[in-house]
Amino acid sequence: MKLRVVFAGTPEFSVPCLEACRASGAEVVAVYTQPDRPAGRGRKLTPSPVKQAALAAGIAVEQPESLKSEEARATLAAYAPDLMVVVAYGLILPRKVLAIPRLGCWNVHASLLPRWRGAAPIQRAILAGDDESGVDLMQMEAGLDTGPVLLERRTPISGEDTGGSLHDRLSALGADALAEGLSRVLSGETLLPRAQPEDGVIYAHKLDKAEARLDFRRPAIELERQVRAFDPWPVAEGDVAGEMLRIWAARAIEGNGAPGSVLGMSREGIDIACGEGALRVTALQRSGGKRITAADYFNAIKTRGA
């Protein structure tokens, strides 16, 4: 069968899913993405990663500010999509939009639903100490990530995972699940939806930069997870011996002392007392500087006394 697909996505996370659509044999007739936004030091208007990939592939691009108007719905309907695939698009799809494609709208979501519905499921899973994450291919409904699940992929969360590493792995898993779903539909199969459980619903609220500040009164293991979850954004930060540093890598260790006090400093790391245990900072960034190891910081302190 033929399948006309409209793809909607914006960040780098979405690009592998767009490529999976193109490779599936379906016809990607249009790509919807967020309007160009200012980026970089010059605040120059910059197209999203999905827009760049679509233009490189010669696919028509639409960038409405909203999908609520009749004009926006008419534009979408004119593409006559059989299916709309939504991956981290960034706009709410009104009920009338969900009804336009013949097969409705699919969403690739980076969590094991119903846990971590919402905007920041990857970082929230690490912050909470979850030992597993994954992606769900979901049939979209009007509610926020409430639709039935069509396919699922799972992956363990290791003690070394950061927001960045888990992001990349889930992006690839999402593309894999989407590729399977499209292949099965193209072969004439109807995917059987599985309703989400009513128990276990947790919302992954959008990240706030203010959350990056480390509170050394908390247990060290929680701060370790905070450092990992906020790499590469917004990056944890903390007051270390009177200097505000961005903390790129750290691990919980044993130690006792007044929360926030420096227990020791060496080439191995900076040990900071916490409410429970201590946090060993191993990679950091000084104001106006670049990311360095604790050894480089220790050497700078010794040689410059600063």
Nearest-CA neighbor of 143 among 196, 190, 191, 182? 196
Nearest-CA neighbor of 183 among 173, 191, 195, 171? 191
234 is known to lie in a ligand binding site: no
Which residue type occupies 76?
L
Q: Does residue 31 contact residue 59 with C-beta atoms inside 8 Å? A: yes
- The count of other CB atoms within 10 Å of the CB of residue 266 is 11
- Distance of alpha carbon 3 from alpha carbon 101, whole angstroms: 11
- Distance of alpha carbon 212 from alpha carbon 214, whole angstroms: 6
To which H or E segment does residue 109 belong? Answer: strand 105-109
- Distance of alpha carbon 90 from alpha carbon 67, whole angstroms: 11
Q: Calculate ∠ Cα 246-250-256, nearest 5°.
A: 110
111 is known to lie in a ligand binding site: yes
- Distance of alpha carbon 118 from alpha carbon 146, whole angstroms: 10
- Distance of alpha carbon 71 from alpha carbon 57, whole angstroms: 26
**Burial grade of 45 (CB within 10 A; 0-12, 13-18, 19 or more):** exposed
24 is known to lie in a ligand binding site: no
To which H or E segment does residue 249 belong? Answer: strand 243-253
Q: Which residues contact 165 (CB under 8 A, 6 or more apart)?
A: none
112 is known to lie in a ligand binding site: yes
- Distance of alpha carbon 5 from alpha carbon 260, whole angstroms: 54
Annotated binding site: 111-114
Annotated binding site for (6S)-5,6,7,8-tetrahydrofolate: 111-114
